[in-house]
Amino acid sequence: MQNPKAIIVGAGIAGLSAALELNRQGIEVLVLEKAATPGGKIREVMVDGVPIDSGPTVFTMRWVFDELFESAGTRLDDHLCLRPLQILARHAWSEDERLDLFADPERSAAAIGEFAGPGEARRFKEFCQRARRTYRTLENTFIRDSRPTPAGLVSRSGLRGIGDLIRISPYDTLWHALGRHFHNPRLRQLFGRYSTYCGSSPYQAPATLMLITHVEQEGVWSVEGGMSRLPEALYKLAAAQGVQFLFNTPVSRINARAGRVCGVTLDENESLDADLVVFNGDIGALSRGRLGIEVAGAVQGPEPGQRSLSALTWSLKAAPQGFPLIRHNVFFSSDYQAEFRDIFEHHRLPKEPTVYICAQDRQDDDCHGQSGAERLLCLVNAPPIGDQHHYKPTEIAQCEESTFRLLARCGLKIDLNESPHLITTPTDFEHLFPATGGALYGRASHGWRASFDRPGSRSQVPGLYLAGGSVHPGAGVPMATLSGRLAARTVIQDLTSRKW
């Protein structure tokens, strides 16, 4: 077949990385995006005339992006300015209980020693080794594999690797495993929170998710100008290399002929032909028939009860007082178990949520280098029911009250009445990312099998491929980027084999 034509539905980070990769392989690529700009969840909102990063803010796994730019024939540093952070995050439980984690694990161990005693510092080091081992075991056998299965993982690991697989405790929960490492409940809570990076509860997520701790210790960067510069750079690069983009262009149907995908229909009823389609939206939209019945059986999306966390966010321009904010800050609730019970069992906003604040005008110190108000993203976890439940103003007000009360307990004063802000609820996320209920990370990683239940790049309908945080290897900016590359790789495999 000469120059096949591909349509990519969605210009999220996975759609962009798939576009670059397919274009490099000589495929004609058209990206259709319903929003006005690229990036999907990587988004800025305007508050009082300034753009505020209101999606992902923690940039990790730089190597994924180095490899992506390199494979497109250029260098990441020629397109983006990344700055490594020395302090990964500042954690607080009250005005007197604060703990910083550092890029240098020795500094973290010293800080933990001071916070919780030398025994905990020693156990932290052991924990780091275990997290590193878990990451190394899974990097090649799971993360980079296009469709891992438990049996495949075992056979690819070989005899020596099987021991490694057993040691990473795939059947244990993260919370339980952390209890064996940390005696201090604050530390258990701190390291349990990493499961929320893929939208999961530490009480139900497998112990293997401790690999996220290792990922963060490998480096966290800030992106000059904000996270949106990343998709913007990829979009410009792809456009310069010949990829075509249409924004403000929602796709209402993916079409099939004789059981094979043959193009898409736009909202205005215009149809566009293609030899293959890569879908970058949430797979729930496919399985719920939002893209037409011809592709509804292409993949099994998560049931509402299997969805990952949503969020309630405040994008703020404020003049915070009393707490030495750095770039990434976490303020912990006093009953972590109750928080996740509220979200996953009672399906309600937590009575007292743990709060994350990205003070995006700051780096490693508590100075934001400008006078007056600064830009903040304040985020609490929320249940992914934005499609079934309309949040009443009283519910939001209650959660707001407990959020800012917790901050005040930790010494941080923000006067919301004096601070222009924009609130985003799970219902808003559902509108932005249809058929998710506002879940931001696809299927929750609950139980040891959950990671294997995410589909790979190939769907059940020939010619339809999947890329994004709801498919393997999962959510988060680097993982979704990898999924885009895996989708492109699968397309090429199929094109060069008899599967086509």
- The residue type found at 261 is V
| Span near ligand FAD by CB under 6 A; candidates 91-99, 148-156, 166-174, 473-481 | 473-481
Cβ neighbours, 10 Å, residue 397: 9
Rg of the chain over Cα atoms, rounded to whole angstroms, equals: 22
Nearer to ligand FAD, 23 or 157 (CB): 23
Residue 254 C-beta: closest distance to ligand FAD, Å: 9
Cα–Cα distance for residue pair 156/76, rounded to 1 Å? 32
480 binds ligand FAD (CB under 6 A): yes
* DSSP percent split of the chain into helix, strand, coil, nearest 5: 40, 20, 40
Q: Contact letters (x/-) for ligand FAD, 334-353, by CB under 6 A?
A: --------------------
Total chain residues near ligand FAD (CB under 6 A): 34
Site for ligand FAD in 21-40 (CB under 6 A): 32-35, 40
9 binds ligand FAD (CB under 6 A): yes
Nearer to ligand FAD, 53 or 100 (CB): 53
Among 475, 482, 486, 488, binds ligand FAD (CB under 6 A): 475
Cα–Cα distance for residue pair 152/165, rounded to 1 Å? 12
- Whole-Å CA distances, 456 to 153, 414, 434, 467, 487: 15, 44, 20, 8, 8
Site for ligand FAD in 166-225 (CB under 6 A): none
Nearer to ligand FAD, 9 or 165 (CB): 9
Single out the residue of 57, 53, 43, 39 nearest to residue 375, CA to CA: 53
The pairing of beta strand 355-359 with beta strand 374-382? antiparallel
How would you class 423 by CB atoms within 10 Å of its CB: exposed for 0-12, middle for 13-18, buried for 19 or more?
middle
Nearer to ligand FAD, 157 or 445 (CB): 445
Three-state SS for 201-234 is: CCCCCEHHHHHHHHHHHCCCEEECCCCCHHHHHH
284 binds ligand FAD (CB under 6 A): no
Among 72, 101, 116, 311, binds ligand FAD (CB under 6 A): 311
438 binds ligand FAD (CB under 6 A): no
Residue 347 C-beta: closest distance to ligand FAD, Å: 19
58 binds ligand FAD (CB under 6 A): yes
Cα–Cα distance for residue pair 357/57, rounded to 1 Å? 10
DSSP conformational letter for 368 = -
| Span near ligand FAD by CB under 6 A; candidates 6-14, 77-85, 109-117, 181-189 | 6-14
List interacting residues with ligand FAD (CB under 6 A). 9-15, 32-35, 40-42, 55-58, 250-251, 280-281, 311, 313, 379, 433, 440-441, 468-469, 475-477, 480
